[in-house]
Structure 1
Amino acid sequence: MGLGGTWDGVPYTAADIAHAETAVEAALDIGITVFDHADIYRRGKAEAVFGELLDRAAGLRERIVVQTKCGIRQADGHHPGMYDLRGTHILRSVEESLTRLRTDVIDVLLLHRPDPLADPQDIAKALTSLHGQGLVRRFGVSNMSAAQIAHLQGHLDIPLVANQLEMSLGSRDWVEAGVLVNTPAAAGNGFPHGTVEYCHAREIQLQAWGALAQGRCTGDGDSPTARHVAALAARKGTTPETILLWWLQHHPARIAPVIGTSRPDRIRACRDAVGREPGLTHEEWYDLWVTARGGPLP
């Protein structure tokens, strides 16, 4: 999301391309090969800048997985901001993303947000067409509950392979929902209970957006949680960013963090979380959780 310059209509610059290049190089250097996009990021400029890099770097496309999303339409002079999972919009969005990314296939396409007006048969028809044409290899969703996934999958022969949700040590509703059952505090938790278990049981990859908690739990924040994370990182001989990712990766659902940042230094700080088992004990995982929630478990 951080690539492509500003969120307005100003075209991206050579400096924006150079920034994207340093971010991608940092990711590749530590073994990251999956790049997550969305058609709305920087109003399409994030995809377009990335497409510039793919066009310039021979062989890069074959080395990586390109994932993007569609289904959110930003407000303009003709309509309000809205969700749009109509088949025609999905098809048009993919065509535009392919053009911006300068590639002939999207490895994974996620439906970005639930659309209350969506017709699952219409969605299934569009996804089946994209798959049959070889334009998209796999499909998933983002910000959807177990019930919403099941409803869509019931009309789609192609398996949904991913669900991207906000999950981090700073945003813990996804894990709190599982322990607040049968407590008064459950009413204040908005996460759809059972979604993590549903995805885990069906091997739908849980992808955690906001995995680094926007810096609130690392060096950019001064809180009991940030201090605890920093102290644990020092004892482990790693970085605070790695501790946050390990906390997610330690969960049995094998959560895949989307680190989000485009800062090369923060990308490289995630190196110990790439390609190795998380280095936390059961007790350390719980200690981080209790510290972050600011009180004992129920």
Structure 2
Amino acid sequence: MSVISRPPIIIAPQAPVPVRMPRRKSELQRTWPLYLSVAPFFLLFSVFGLFPLAFSLYLSFQKWDGIGQMTFVGWNQFAYLLTDSYFWQAIVNTLEIWLLATVPMICISVVLAFLLASPSNKLKSFYHVAFFLPHITSIVAIALVFGSLFSNQFGLINALLTALGLQRFAWLSQPWGMKIAIASMILWRTLGYHALIFMAGIQSIPATLYEAAQIDGANARQIFFRITLPLLRPVMLFTVITSTISGMQVFTEPQVLLGNDGGPGREGMTIVLYLYQQAFGSYHFGYGAAIGWGLFVLIALFSLFNWLLIQRPGARA
């Protein structure tokens, strides 16, 4: 019996079935919903923020009354700005009002914040609302109220002076009287806001530091000056810079209280009020834009000065 040999059966290997991998989305496809969600802010900022900023820079090199053709004058308006006595008077007035309002505001708000953050204070919520309420009150309403307080003839402060046997004082006619009236409005309006900011800074200080100080026998005054104030330096820097920026832009208080001319002798004329008078009172829109950019330089310089003064080497928290 013969055995018939058969050739081996060779099975061809099957081709691998291609596995479809999910297509990876491109970077733009993954991020466009995020960009779309923030697009309204940038659109509004471009229309109401970026465009006016760029246009004011362009306008500062032009002479324009708001109706006729613009005339290119180059740097002439900035050169005139440096020699304008009214502009320098407005700078001095603004700085004096800022000092009269900011220095007491910082001192009082730190003390108020220390008292508000005290564990023995049982009415914290009430004081929070009471101190913050003036900050959200209309500035025009505040100016009208303070106008009745500091009125030369029928003001409540002069009535109090008369009741005490003292002479009346022309608050809205004397140079320092006008500045004190404006600074008092700013102080009353911003005191509670900055007190809450300082209180938040105090609450961020570790309680173990206070407990250790109390165990060592430190009293409240020593805790305040040795622990609280040094550790509030970053908050102090923020408060001084923001108060400087807002103080350089004071407008509504002197405008409502004293008018567009800044009162007798222009002693209540601030930088922004002078800008408003030149641009919308005298229709010198180009020069008003130059004043605005001069104000920007002043704010930047004073912010840098405050930062260097408070944030000294080795004083970082």
TM range, smaller chain: under 0.3
Higher relative contact order (Cα pairs below 8 Å, separated by 6+ residues): 2
Task: Tell which structure's C-alpha radius of gyration is larger.
Answer: 2
Higher strand share: 1
Give TM-score, length-normalised by structure 2: 0.23
